[in-house]
Amino acid sequence: MKAKFLPVAAFALAVTLFFYPIRFAIAFELLGSPVRSSEDGWLGPTPRDAGACVVDIGKINAWECEDTSLFFRHQHGCELWLWFFGYSDG
């Protein structure tokens, strides 16, 4: 039983690790401006479907909506993006 489960688990892990960066790249503008919220601080890159939630205030964008679930769904990718572009100390 364990012998059959191990390849399936390894495949599921590989697929997850492969598709997470692709989902992140589809959801955000990777070379776009960073987004900052007055309540939550730095959130991450600008989402592709931000619409009226993003206000351009210069070299950064301000997040005007209360819903920040997209950033928290991609929390690790956003933190890595903020660190890579120098917006986070972490």
What pLDDT, in 10s, does the model give residues 72-81? 999 999 999 9
Number of domains in the chain: 1
On whether residue 38 sits in a domain, the answer given is: yes
Letter for the amino acid at 72?
Answer: F
SS3 label, residue 54: strand
Contacts of 56 (CB under 8 A, 6+ apart): 33
CB 63 within 8 A of CB 37: yes
CB 45 within 8 A of CB 78: yes
Q: What is the pTM of this model?
A: 0.80
On whether residue 79 sits in a domain, the answer given is: yes
Reported as type and span, the H/E element at residue 45 is strand 41-45
Structural domain that includes position 37 = 2-84
pLDDT for position 61: 93
On whether residue 90 sits in a domain, the answer given is: no
On whether residue 89 sits in a domain, the answer given is: no
Q: What is the pLDDT of residues 4-17, one digit of tens each?
A: 888 888 888 888 88
Neighbour order of strands in the sheet with 54-56: 41-45, 34-37, 61-63, 54-56
On whether residue 47 sits in a domain, the answer given is: yes
